[in-house]
Amino acid sequence: MNPIAPQKEEVRKFWNADPCGTRYLEGKEDFDAHARARYAREPYIFDFAQFQSARGLKVLEIGVGMGADYLEWLKAEAQASGVDLSAASIERSRQRCEQAGYQTDLRVADAEQLPFPDDSFDLVYSYGVMHHSPNTPQCIREARRVLKPGGQARIMVYHHPSITGAMLWLRYGFLRGKSLRQSVFDHLESPGTKTYTCDQVQQLLDGFRDLEMRVVFSPGDLLLHQPSERFQSGFYRLVWKLFPRALVRQFGRRWGLFLLITATKAS
Ligand SMILES: C[S@@+](CC[C@H](N)C(=O)[O-])C[C@H]1O[C@@H](n2cnc3c(N)ncnc32)[C@H](O)[C@@H]1O
């Protein structure tokens, strides 16, 4: 990999210190607990990823994190490669897959500069990754470059506006005059996290056809997980308890954080 820009180094440091999903691990290597918690809170992943559709296909997963979905590609008998900027995440993914008895092709690599030739993959999958990288349009161009013509991209990026964004705005933005987007940029996971409207995604996916998008709730939108260290006071515990999940599910659908995108590389 070429020398890394300081902004991206911050992103890498963040995920090396706390590989994605660490909070769902019950023991350091309890990957089953991680998978159970992940798929219980985000059941739409199976419908979106369509792991079984990839049997025999060449798949690239960009940003494997702790490797739950990467393992599903292997179980589905895809020829799956995976990359992540964070060496700690790649190490966890490798450990997880080897424990499950699979061989891996996992590399530390940058989504903005993928180490693969043009037209290499039938399917490129990336779940919750590209908005963390400083140059998200470049990640999309790279995904398109390595896809074969007619190949499919399945990408999740963070959506604007969202309930998570609104909560971060109330917590960090409101009194400091920050916008919803800036509150997410500064306070959601790694520094510099971006969010996109459906119209913006349409522009980002120039060069793709058959674009489909769906907004879904993240676990954070519905406060489904335990409050993190930042939200431990009695006030926040009360918010978690009283949060009107049923109402939000019913009326807040357009305010989900996760934007699920499928698109085909034009020939
Ligand atoms: C929110 S986690 C998602 C991980 C996994 N896809 C999941 O759903 O659990 C974001 C991941 O993106 C990775 N990432 C961020 N920027 C990246 C880049 N430029 N290239 C590759 N991976 C990147 C991080 O290291 C981290 O593992």
What's the pTM?
0.95
Q: How many domains does one find in the chain?
A: 1
Q: Is residue 134 part of a domain?
A: yes
Rounded to the nearest angstrom, the distance between the alpha carbon of 174 and the centre of ligand 1 is: 29
Quick: pLDDT tens for 39-87: 999 999 999 999 999 999 999 999 999 999 999 999 999 999 999 999 9
Q: Is residue 186 part of a domain?
A: no
Q: Is residue 183 part of a domain?
A: no
Quick: pLDDT tens for 226-243: 777 778 888 888 888 999
CATH classification of the domain holding 87 = 3.40.50.150
Q: Is residue 174 part of a domain?
A: no
Quick: pLDDT tens for 143-186: 999 999 999 999 999 999 999 999 999 999 999 999 999 999 99
Instruction: Give the per-residue SS3 of the chain.
Output: CCCCCHHHHHHHHHHHHCCCCHHHCCCCCCHHHHHHHHHHHCCHHHHHHCHHHHCCCEEEEECCCCCHHHHHHHHCCCEEEEEECCHHHHHHHHHHHHHCCCCCCEEECECCECCCCCCCEEEEEEECCHHHCCCHHHHHHHHHHHEEEEEEEEEEEEECCCHHHHHHHHHHHHHHCCCHHHHHHHHCCCCCCCCECHHHHHHHCCCEEEEEEEEECCCCCCCCCCCCHHHCCHHHHHHHHHCCHHHHHHHCHHHCCEEEEEEEECC
Quick: pLDDT tens for 120-145: 999 999 999 999 999 999 999 999 99
Rounded to the nearest angstrom, the distance between the alpha carbon of 85 and the centre of ligand 1 is: 7
- 132 C-beta closer than 6 A to ligand 1: yes
Instruction: State the average pLDDT for the chain.
Output: 94
Q: Is residue 180 part of a domain?
A: no
- What does the pLDDT read at residue 202? 97
- What does the pLDDT read at residue 1? 60
- 15 C-beta closer than 6 A to ligand 1: yes
Rounded to the nearest angstrom, the distance between the alpha carbon of 234 and the centre of ligand 1 is: 32
| Domain with 218 in it | 6-163+194-265
